[in-house]
Structures are given as C-alpha cells and as structure tokens.
Amino acid sequence: MAKLQGTFTALVTPMFGDGSIDYEGFRKLVQNQIKAGVSGLVPLGTTAETPTLNEHDEEEKLIRIVIEEVQNAKQTSKREIPIIMGAGSNNTRDAVYYVERAKKFGADYALVVTPYYNKPSQEGIFRHFEAVSKVGIPIIVYNIKGRTGTNISTPLLKRIAELPNIAGVKEASGDIGQMMDVIAEIKNKKPDFVVLSGDDSLTFPLVAAGGDGVISVVANIAPELMVKMTNAALKNDIVEARKIHYRLLPFFKAAFCDGNPTSIKYALKTKGMLSTDAVRLPLVEVTEEAKKTIEVAIKKCEL
C-alpha cells in the first residue's frame, strides 16, 4: 500500500431541512472530490456529524456510496483513492467494532480518536489503541485535545507507534511545537509513519516541517486549492504553497468561526454545493454574524 500523502477530505454529511440525509447530495460531493484530485476520502469523521448518525442504516449507506464511487474512479481512471474511515468511540469495545466494520467494508485505514469524555490516563489511551491495533487494518491515531479533553503526549505516541498496524497520526492538538516533536522523535526514525495535520491552517507549516499532508475540512469547498497547496509544499515549492496558504487564510478562519461542520455547511450552501446547511441537534445553524464572516471570506479568497 502506498504511503499516505496529500489532501484527504473530511466529508460532510449533506442533510435536508427535516434532518434526513441527502444521499444523492453526498454522492455528488464525493464525485466532486475525486474529480478535483484529492488524495483520499475520510467519511464518518467529526465533520460528518457521526455522533448523531444511525450506525447501521445511515452510516453504512454513506460507507457504501464512498466505496462505490472510489471503485468507479479506479475502473475509469486507474486511480487509487484511499478511504480513511472514522472508527472512534470512547468505549474501547465499540471502537474495536467500528474498526472491524471499516475492515469488513474494505476501507484502507481506520481513523481512531482518543477516547473522549472518560479522560483516560496515558496508559488507558495506550491500551485503547493496543486493542484496535489487533483488528488488522492500518490505524491513523487522531489526537485532538480540544474535543476529547486529553492530549496524546509525544512519548505516548512513540509507544503507540510501535504497536502493529499503527500507520500514523492526525495531529489536531493545535500545537505546532508538538507536531515538530512528533516528526523529530517518531517520523524521522520511522519514515513510513504518516503525520497529517488536523487543522487546515497548519497544513502548510506542518508539511514544510516534514509532515505528509492534511485531513481537511476546507477541501469540501476548495478541493483543488487544498490539493495544489499541499502538493506544492510536498514538492518543496514553498513560494507557491505559501501563496495559496495566505490566499486561503481568511477562509481557514471562517470555516470554523461558529463550529464545525456548521460553518463549512453554510459555506457549501452559499456556493450552491449543498441544497441546505441543515445539521442535527445539538448542532444548530450558524449565527447571522458568522454568516457574514463566511460570505466575506468566500469573496476575499475567490472561492
């Protein structure tokens, strides 16, 4: 399996005004991402509103759509498009089940977040990843203290990286210093260990520092630009990558100005890429102030 590098889109889940899923809208979104040349797709992550989806009916239907479209692309263009399937839970038994499901459906990787709410110790986090690593599918560790309440320290990640089937990390700690420590202490010793940004705005500096790319929310609306920026940085074309980074910077901020995926869904609706910006409770639509911020950023960034 080729090493993960580039832009991987954390897919939103389009919905109608009544909260039901717009499956055809989702299919079109996936097709648009593939056409734009993204390196891979990430269904059932945080951006997909997975906590509010029915795991058997809705989630499995979304999974099947992504797999169908990726298989179609492979047949027509011979492109390999890895699927990194969200498979996290704060219950280790459930996380193992979701990773097994990802493997059963043919995903290439499972994205497993730090257990949230429980706030386990570093040893508890290690054992959680030890359990999912035994399933037999490559695992991307997802470190996002802002949502889970617990940071995976670099020494702990170093231990986790030695487990079988641990392929890399989605680093969303927001701490570029920690990300560079991960590269220095883990990636430089294990070159196949993938380090992906979990923050769109830190993609350029992370790749410039030796990272591999991004799991991107902004790619939902600007896949071509995210692909160009990330690929330029990977090719050490710093001037081009920096140019696109600063072009997109206002939208990097606006895309999260009133939460995720509420802000990006409103942006997609504004651009006519979604029929509605509907979300499910406890999420609600963005404020009027946020709408203006998003609209201004779209125009300023020429999206």
* Listed residue (62, 170, 23) closest to 109, CA to CA: 170
The catalytically annotated residue of 103, 170, 187, 291 is 170
* Coil/strand/helix, residue 212: coil
Q: Are strands 109-113 and 139-143 parallel, antiparallel or unpaired?
A: parallel
Q: Is residue 170 among the annotated active site residues?
A: yes
Angle at 256 between CA 150 and CA 115, to 5 degrees: 20
* Coil/strand/helix, residue 277: coil
Report how far residue 148's alpha carbon sits from residue 82's, in angstroms, rounded to the nearest whole number: 26
Q: Is residue 116 among the annotated active site residues?
A: no
The catalytically annotated residue of 142, 228, 266, 269 is 142
- Side chain identity at 289, as an amino acid letter? E
Active site residues: 142, 170
